Amino acid sequence: MGTPAIDLHTHSSASDGADTPGVLLMKAAQAGLSVIALCDHDTFAGLREAGSTATAIGLEVLPGVEISTRRRGVSVHLLGYGCRRDDLALNAGLAKVRSGRQDRVETMRTRLAELGMPIPADVLAAHVKDSPSVGRPHFADAMVELGYVSDRSEAFDRWLSDEGPAFVDRYCLPFEEALQLVHGAGGVAVVAHPWGRTSVSVLDADYLTSLVSDGLLDGIEVNHDDHDLATRKALASVAGRCGALVTGGSDYHGTGKKRGYELGCNTTSAEVLTEIQHRVTDAGGQLGV
């Protein structure tokens, strides 16, 4: 047996991924992965289905969530692994974020209509399906269907990105509150793609170091396609200095949904996975799916 391939960042149709949790797990097994973490945005909704498929096909699933947070007005994504999914405070926080997502829908539809791209409610609904966590990628898929853009990337590049003309803000949890919620639920907290996109401006090396030293943050997602090689080296050295766990994941959202970001394109070592599992067990978290 070779080294296990471990991808600790994937999404399903429970949030803005294209594959159902079951299909995602089958694709992961076909891609040669032995462990994946399902980290849907602001919801645990995909984990039940993932659990039944995992047992059926013999793939290991680490339960996760990717929480929409904000620090100093800038979006920061936080991965929580092994959280107790019945934790009241964490669920209340996630519910607040999801309701902010829902509240944004009509404003986005109005904005897009003003920009000449009306999105009929039923077209959007067909892409959201039963996801409780509606997001910009669902709008992007509707825009593709309506012929306004050719793929999700073009939808973001021209219209939906944080700087784009169709961007509408929504509620996100304060970053440090989200760290506490993850630990309060027995989970392990890893900051997602910290030096990619925008969050680099509010997550400097000193701040990350202090969070890890104070026990507020467990790990840093170093290996992610938002980080080029130089960024990965710099972040790995920050992690090495403060003792942060170094993780990696694909941030897969479905084939062709984001250029790159294919299953298993970034991975996490078996030693780090074991340490995550130990910390979850010690903190009374939940490793089962």
Give the shortest CB-24-to-ligand AMP separation in angstroms.
Answer: 14
CB 270 within 8 A of CB 276: no
Binding of Zn ion by 251 (CB under 5 A): yes
Would you say 127 or 258 has its CB closer to Zn ion?
258
Considering only residues 124 to 153 of the shown chain, the ones binding ligand AMP according to CB under 6 A are: 135-137, 152-153
State in angstroms the smallest separation of the CB of 251 from Zn ion: 4
| x/- map, 126-165, Zn ion, by CB under 5 A | ----------------------------------------
Q: Which of 27, 70, 77, 101 binds Fe ion (CB under 5 A)?
A: 77
Tell me, what amino acid is at 247? T
- Whose CB is nearest to ligand AMP? 135
* Contacts of Zn ion in 58-87 (CB under 5 A): 66
Interaction of residue 16 with ligand AMP, rule CB under 6 A? yes
Q: Name the residue number minimizing CB distance to Zn ion.
A: 251
192 near Fe ion, rule: CB under 5 A = yes
Residues in 105-144 at the binding interface with Fe ion, rule: CB under 5 A: none
CB of 165 to Fe ion, least distance (A): 21
SS (H, E, C) the chain: CCCCCEEEEECCCCCCCCCCHHHHHHHHHHCCCCEEEECCECCCCCHHHHHHHHHHHCCEEEEEEEEEEEECCEEEEEEEECCCCCCHHHHHHHHHHHHHHHHHHHHHHHHHHHCCCCCCHHHHHHHHCCCCCCCHHHHHHHHHHCCCCCCHHHHHHHHHCCCCCCCCCCCCEEHHHHHHHHHHCCCEEEECCCCCCCHHHHCCHHHHHHHHHCCCCCEEEEECCCCCHHHHHHHHHHHHHHCCEEEECCCECCCCCCCCCCCCCCCCCHHHHHHHHHHHHHCCCCCCC
User: Under rule CB under 6 A, which residues in 220-279 are in contact with ligand AMP?
Assistant: 253, 258
Residue 16 lies near Fe ion (rule: CB under 5 A) = yes
Chosen residue from 44, 81, 148, 156 binding ligand AMP by CB under 6 A: 156
How far is Cα of residue 176 from the mean position of the Cα atoms in its chain?
17
For Fe ion, the binding residues (CB under 5 A) are 16, 77, 192
Interface positions with ligand AMP (CB under 6 A): 16, 41, 135-137, 152-153, 156, 253, 258
Binding stretches for Zn ion (CB under 5 A)? 66, 251
